[in-house]
Amino acid sequence: MPRLSVPELQVMRSMLIKEFGPTTPVLDQLASLKFDARRITGTGYYVHFSNGEQLPCLDKLNTELTDGVRTSLPAPADLVGFTLFVRDGYLSSFEGYTFGDVKWPTEPMEDWLVIDAAAHS
């Protein structure tokens, strides 16, 4: 079963801290999230977590957390977006996407995603 990449975990961690604070108990268990496969859409991808309900329940029942992240790629691929879906208080899915129908890069995210250490720690 695939695992989330380090950049994905960093982006999710940043989103959760912004929304729920740095002491939310779900942060310690992010790396244990599992999913069957990344579903590629052409302009992005998504994953549905198979064990999200095994993590602590969040305060808000249904919400979407969204963030844009810079890349090292030339425009118009110099920014991508991510959305983390919370359903019934549990992490349910995560998606990455480009803007303007730009093709999602085939290289690993570690090679082109620019993670701002201050914003995503």
The letter for the amino acid at 108 is P
99 DSSP β-pair partners: none
Count Cα neighbours of 121 within 13 Å in the Cβ-side half-sphere: 3
Task: Give this prediction's pTM.
Answer: 0.91
Structure confidence at residue 55 as a pLDDT band (50, 70, 90) = confident
* pLDDT score of 21 more than 70: yes
* pLDDT score of 32 more than 60: yes
* pLDDT score of 121 more than 90: no
* pLDDT score of 3 more than 90: no
Quote the pLDDT of residue 63.
Answer: 93
Supply φ then ψ for residue 80, to 5 degrees: -125, 160
Hey, where are the domains in the chain?
6-111
Condensed to tens digits (0 to 9), the pLDDT of residues 80-97 reads 999 999 999 999 999 999
What's the whole-number average pLDDT of the chain? 91
Task: For residues 27-49, give the mean pLDDT.
Answer: 94
* pLDDT score of 120 more than 70: no
